[in-house]
Structure 1
Amino acid sequence: MLAHTSSEAPIRFEVSFKEPQAHYVEVKMDIVGVKGDYMDVKMPVWAPGSYLIREFSKNVEGFVASDAEEKPLNSKKVSKNTWRVFAKGAKNVQIRYRVYAFEVSVRTSFVDAAHAFLSPTGIFMFVDGQLNRSAQVTIHPYQGWNKVSTGLELAADKAFTYVAPDFDVLFDSPIEVGNQDIFTFTAVGVLHEVAMVGGGNYDKEKLSRDMATIVEQATAIYGENPNKRYVFIVHNYQSGGGGLEHLNSTVLGASRFAYGTASGYRSFLSLVAHEYFHLWNIKRLRPEALGPFDYDQENYTTDLWIGEGFTAYYDNLLVKRAGLNSEEGYLQDLASDIAAVENRPGNHVQSLSESSFDAWIKYYRPDENSMNSMVSYYNKGALMALLIDLKIRHASKGTKSLDEVMREAYRIFYKEKKEGYSDQAFKELAEKVSGVVLDDIYAWVNTANSPDYETYLNKVGLTLTNLNEGYVIPDIGIKTTTGEGKLLIQQVVRGSGAWNGGINVKDELIAINGYRIETSGKELDRILQSSEIGDKLNVLVARDGVLKELTIEVGANNNGKYVIEPLSNATKEQQAWKENWLAAK
């Protein structure tokens, strides 16, 4: 008979670090009120917010079970992430295991002699069928470590002990342990803690002021902030990036010395804005597949273009509204998104809804052909949000916007119905709130085509220009890299001369038209610059040690270089709508 447990008793964890220099976490798990012959204990296989099966159980070692008197209990592994413990009548079960933690990312745990970052889905196990059970976590910092940063609530009676009402909250609360540099600020009545790890040339006063302004702008969209306390865990590396959203915290990756440059600082603020906007969009207002979570397998949705793409639209917009970027700078950010989508052949192969659904097998597993076969639900999703916003603003003569849609969707789906939305339900709500039919934009979501950006930008007095239009740039469609003194093919562009002529990724490029190509690629550039469209090139490559001669036709490089600028004949209405769009709220 499968064991079950009392719903009133919390599962207690103790976390310690005997060998942090070897990257290990020691975990003790106490389960009380056990009834039945056996119980299954599981480790999640993925981390919500990062849509890839990561098999966290691969890092588990030394799993052992005992009763309250520490008498051994039999256990065996019955699936890749499940351990079966035979209770033999024991009412209390104690489990111990170790986790190897040495992967640098915002979604995986990392431990060394300096600090420990615990990503909960890769650290804490759960009793099968008991995700709704409360949990308590006691951290035993390694010698010399004296700080813990986490969104978990601190227990009233124990140092470094934290509580979670259920395992969804526990799994959504990363933990930083060490000697991180902590500063705080208050915005919209919410205390915000910033835990800086790894040093850097950041200015705490400036960050406090600017991050607070971003918080205010994000909260203004939704009309309320759902937290009393929020934690930023920032890992500063020589070169870093990325972020992962959580219920009342986030983990950010940053470059420790990028704070001192204008572009690096704005990039960090955009990351802050992105993850903070997720407080509402994804963590509360969410697609129906993303909660309650199934931690054993993929949770598919076609709506990541809304959850992530809309958030990617608002991140740079919030920085602009906060007064931390110029109008010109913001418009260039939008132009960069257009270039990222339009210069990617995969834009005409994969739709946004397909990109969302296939995130589990494609987005986090890029390869040399990804640019030819995929489109990002971040970039293109952001552009769909832009088009929806501009269409609503124009149709309503500036009285409504995407802001109102997001606010109402949050109220209806999260607060009132307490459920996720389907693709159709979100579209119907957006159309009801805005009074605008969105069939044209949804057609671009569900097909692999390029949107008509110009028509929508014109609605707020802007125009899109491709600076490369009219220029013929000879190209054969390859990207190269150097390795072991060789010039190697790194990418081949779909439909290019290299694609049609049979050049392969990993080929060594040796000569063109009888002339040796050196590893710097200067000779390749010279040949292309002196070529005409339609010329045939005799290309010598080495493939797996075999020399091959290929005939490659020179084509044109069709990549665009885009800028967004004000229309010279913009009306006063168009200018007013643009100013309202970009202004602080």
Structure 2
Amino acid sequence: MSTAVSYRIRPVSPEAHLFEVSMTVAQPAVAGQVLRLPAWIPGSYMIREFARHIVSIRAESGKKAVALSKLDKHSWQAAPVQGALTVHYTVYAFDLSVRGAYLDGERGFYNGTSVFLQADGCEHEPCEVEILPPQDKAQAKWKVATSLPAHDIKKSGFGHYRAANYDELIDHPVELGEFERVSFKACGVPHEFIVSGKYKADLKRLAADTKRICEWQVRFFGEPAPFERYVFMLFVGGDIYGGLEHRASTALVASRDDLPQAGEDGIGDGYLKLLGLISHEYFHTWNVKRMKPAAFTPYDLNREGHTTLLWAFEGITSYYDDLALVRSGLIDERRYLGLLAKTITGVARGNGRNKQTLADSSFDAWTKYYRQDENSPNSIVSYYTKGALAALALDLHIRQHTAGAKSLDSVMLALWQKWLADGQGLAEDEWERVAEDTTGLKLGKFFDMAIRSTRELPLAELLATQGVEMQLLPADSSADSGSVVDEIAPASMRPTLGVKTASDAQGVKLTAVLDGGAAQAAGLAGGDVVIAVDGLKVTDLDKAIRRCCSGDSIKLHAFRRDELLSFRVTLQDTPADTCRLRLAEQGGRWIKG
């Protein structure tokens, strides 16, 4: 396979967080080659303007300098040349998230969208990249991990890789460093789990549990898996969390405390959260990396790609990520219902669900969901969490009206078979059409209610058909985020300010002031830092409020920027927004399929 574009990348200055990249275009455009860096990365729907991290750039041809003209914030055009064009540039990399690029003396990581310029007109042509090792002896033991197809590499992984086109090139992130590696096969397909960062953990158990998730998902959609090998890349640190899916790999970040420890048999809440993240990103292998909206077929990485269907690709994935844990045998039905109760509670506590539909949430992801501020709980709803609840409601609705003959599983498998047949993205109304054709049901009214309105989902009624009782009650404490119980008992009333908080060096910071709450009525705002309640210094606002009763009037002192303000607040009753689920005998049949 000849390559129209070739790249070389080296971690040239870890202390300054700089990658050095060069690209050669074998046959540049006659009128002058246009080069551009993506403005966003698939799976993270926000314009990120990665080109701002290019520190320097120059071009040459036949060892002679070639002029580069800036066309816009992420594009350049080279002057016309005879022969190959080579562009040299350095990229600043200090983004610890899964979306960008990172480099220091301990570790390197990059997504292709952050480091590889696209040559216009060559995006469908084969390309090659040579990954070079750092030159400093301190990084002499570094290795490479990536799902990018290897062409000629050393045992360490450094060397030449090839991609069929630019889209494939940028869809295989690369991890560099002295990481640990554990391997397993799922349904006969090689998988690797790469873990970097400082930690102590039982990686064999992590691999064994991940294998169970992978095998259930592969068998759910049907063997063979749509890749020849798969790589999980996990960086662990302090209080971090996130993941980003790719066609044959995923990049993950998580707290080191969430890793399983040697000698532990159970699954703690932290490890359960990590397994849920792994399950979520792996499910995306089918649901968004292959099956996807027509708006993403192909991706236009220069501008936003609006779609009303993110609820179906992120929300449904968020529904199946936890189901995969119970269906693969890692947790039982009761533990699953505890997770579901927390999701229901999280959605119920945001007034944005009464103002934004799931269709609008999907469409406005670029400007609202990915650019949240202190008012977001009052103005938006998550297509992840409410999308997961809409998926649950649809699943139970289908099961109820087909006497269990069909389910959301049936729809997902039909969508996958459609993709295998035509490889096309879904038009905005096509997902619903496939659901109707598969189930034989008229689902327009359901979708109008669940996706295109702000009406409450009929979860209590639908769960009751499966032997699960649901009620929304006042929270028992600020730490109460919903639960599964043996008996649903009325909660005792407690006062509330109607705020979300975070610790602050001066006191307690209000990260959000909720609509209709006591704090909003008194004039408090997101960003205010409460330092005293009734003249006493406060470091635990919830504890201070617990000493009071609903209807009490209290005086708060708070800083807004550098101004000290006082507020008279009348406390309110805690709203009934905390989910309690009770599993009846023989209930929850849908959970295991």
Report the TM-score when normalising by structure 1. Answer: 0.91
From 16, 30, 50, give the equivalent of 2:10: 16
SS of 1:448's equivalent in the other structure is: coil
Q: 1:284 to 1:200 in 2, by over 3 A?
A: same
SS of 2:431's equivalent in the other structure is: helix
Q: Which aligned pairs between 1:439-518 and structure 2 lie closer than 5 A? A: 439-442=444-447, 443-468=449-474, 471-509=492-530, 515-518=534-537
CA distance in 2, matches of 1:33, 1:127: 10
**How far off its partner does 1:214 sit?**
0.8
SS of 2:371's equivalent in the other structure is: coil
- Residue of structure 1 in register with 2:194 after alignment: 195
**After alignment, is 269-278 or 390-399 more displaced?**
390-399
- Residue of structure 2 in register with 1:4 after alignment: none
Q: 1:507 to 1:175 in 2, by over 3 A?
A: closer
CA distance in 2, matches of 1:121, 1:511: 47
CA distance in 2, matches of 1:339, 1:538: 30
**How far off its partner does 1:406 sit?**
0.5
SS of 2:393's equivalent in the other structure is: helix
Q: 1:553 to 1:177 in 2, by over 3 A?
A: same
From 93, 117, 124, give the equivalent of 1:132: 124
**How far off its partner does 1:348 sit?**
1.0
Q: 1:9 to 1:525 in 2, by over 3 A?
A: closer
The answer to whether the Cα contact below 8 Å between 1:145 and 1:177 also exists between their aligned partners in 2 is no
The answer to whether the Cα contact below 8 Å between 1:409 and 1:429 also exists between their aligned partners in 2 is yes
User: What is the root-mean-square deviation of aligned Cα atoms in Å?
Assistant: 2.2
Is residue 562 of structure 1 aligned with residue 579 of structure 2? yes
CA distance in 2, matches of 1:364, 1:147: 33
The answer to whether the Cα contact below 8 Å between 1:347 and 1:374 also exists between their aligned partners in 2 is yes
Q: Which aligned pairs between 1:84-95 and structure 2 lie closer than 5 A? A: 84-87=77-80, 89-95=81-87
- Residue of structure 1 in register with 2:549 after alignment: 531
**How far off its partner does 1:106 sit?**
0.8
SS of 1:54's equivalent in the other structure is: coil
From 266, 277, 286, give the equivalent of 1:271: 277
- Residue of structure 1 in register with 2:172 after alignment: 173
What amino acid does structure 1 have at the position aligned with 2:244? L
CA distance in 1, matches of 2:357, 2:204: 44
Q: 1:379 to 1:480 in 2, by over 3 A?
A: closer
Deviation string for 1:94-130 (max 9, x for gaps)? Answer: 1000000001001111011122101110000011232
- Residue of structure 2 in register with 1:393 after alignment: 399
- Residue of structure 1 in register with 2:477 after alignment: none
Q: Which aligned pairs between 1:98-177 and structure 2 lie closer than 5 A? A: 98-143=90-135, 144-156=140-152, 160-177=159-176
Q: Can you give the 5+ residue segments of structure 2 that lack an aligned partner in the other structure?
A: 262-266, 475-489
The answer to whether the Cα contact below 8 Å between 2:153 and 2:161 also exists between their aligned partners in 1 is no
Q: 1:475 to 1:114 in 2, by over 3 A?
A: closer
Is residue 519 of structure 1 aligned with residue 538 of structure 2? yes
SS of 2:429's equivalent in the other structure is: helix
**How far off its partner does 1:208 sit?**
2.4
Q: 1:547 to 1:141 in 2, by over 3 A?
A: closer
**After alignment, is 281-290 or 490-499 more displaced?**
490-499
Q: Can you give the 5+ residue segments of structure 1 that lack an aligned partner in the other structure?
A: 1-6
SS of 1:252's equivalent in the other structure is: strand
SS of 1:17's equivalent in the other structure is: strand
What amino acid does structure 2 have at the position aligned with 1:530? C
Report the TM-score when normalising by structure 2. Answer: 0.90
CA distance in 2, matches of 1:114, 1:227: 30
Is residue 340 of structure 1 aligned with residue 346 of structure 2? yes
The answer to whether the Cα contact below 8 Å between 1:8 and 1:133 also exists between their aligned partners in 2 is no
- Residue of structure 2 in register with 1:582 after alignment: 591
Is residue 44 of structure 1 aligned with residue 38 of structure 2? yes
Q: How many pairs align? A: 563
**After alignment, is 290-299 or 390-399 more displaced?**
390-399
What amino acid does structure 1 have at the position aligned with 2:75? T
**After alignment, is 236-245 or 162-171 more displaced?**
236-245
The answer to whether the Cα contact below 8 Å between 2:4 and 2:122 also exists between their aligned partners in 1 is no
Q: 1:111 to 1:425 in 2, by over 3 A?
A: same
Deviation string for 1:504-523 (max 9, x for gaps)? Answer: 233454666xx30312246x
SS of 2:275's equivalent in the other structure is: helix
**How far off its partner does 1:483 sit?**
3.5
Q: 1:486 to 1:178 in 2, by over 3 A?
A: closer
Deviation string for 1:121-160 (max 9, x for gaps)? Answer: 0000011232212110001111414421111111158862
Q: 1:325 to 1:25 in 2, by over 3 A?
A: same
**How far off its partner does 1:320 sit?**
0.6
Is residue 433 of structure 1 aligned with residue 402 of structure 2? no
CA distance in 2, matches of 1:35, 1:444: 50
SS of 2:295's equivalent in the other structure is: coil
